[in-house]
């Protein structure tokens, strides 16, 4: 689903990348920049990318305290955003003003997603589709994947 949203973008940012759930598969055919605030996760992703020989530039970066600027974001054809439950308020503000072509937003919290989506829509983005993902059997918890475009 995320790869479909990213489409044919050649250079992709994976923000709040964790261990590389999205960065590693995307890097099969694209150049990927991955930012993650948890040092251990960033180091594990770098090691996995090196072992898999995937071109991923991994940065240990706290996107709450130091989100990518609009200028930094403008170089990416697409952005994958998979924040923790707190959402990505700080990062979304810069994304809303960026020239990035597409955003794949993966969320585990409908409230913070709605807040962040509003910021993007007010910045000129449109929601193309939202897909619920019920990956936790016997639970009421639902993830979602949303596609944003200009």
Q: Is 108 a catalytic residue?
A: yes
The tally of CA atoms less than 13 A away on the side-chain side of residue 132 is 6
CB-CB contact of 103 with 127 (8 Å): no
Catalytic residue among 6, 103, 108, 145: 108
Sheet holding 143-149, edge to edge: 56-60, 31-36, 11-15, 78-81, 102-107, 143-149, 126-133
3-state helix, strand, coil in the chain (%, to 5): 35, 25, 40
Token pair recorded at residue 42: 């960033």
CB 5 within 8 A of CB 145: yes
**What's the angle, vertex CA 128, arms to CA 125 and CA 132, rounded to 5?**
120
Active site (catalytic) residues: 108
């Amino acid at each position: 689903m995320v790869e479909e949203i990213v489409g044919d973008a050649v250079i992709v940012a994976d923000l709040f990348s964790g261990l590389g759930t999205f960065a590693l598969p995307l890097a099969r055919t694209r150049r990927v920049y991955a930012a993650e605030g948890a040092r251990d996760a960033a180091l594990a992703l770098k090691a996995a990318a090196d072992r898999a020989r995937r071109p991923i530039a991994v940065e240990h970066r706290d996107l709450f305290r130091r989100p990518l600027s609009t200028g930094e974001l403008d170089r990416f054809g697409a952005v994958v955003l998979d924040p923790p439950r707190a959402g990505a308020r700080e990062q979304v503000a810069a994304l809303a003003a960026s020239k990035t072509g597409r955003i794949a937003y993966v969320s585990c919290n409908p409230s913070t997603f709605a807040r962040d989506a509003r910021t993007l829509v007010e910045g000129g983005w449109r929601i193309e589709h939202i897909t619920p993902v019920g990956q936790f059997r016997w639970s009421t918890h639902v993830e979602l994947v949303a596609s944003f475009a200009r």
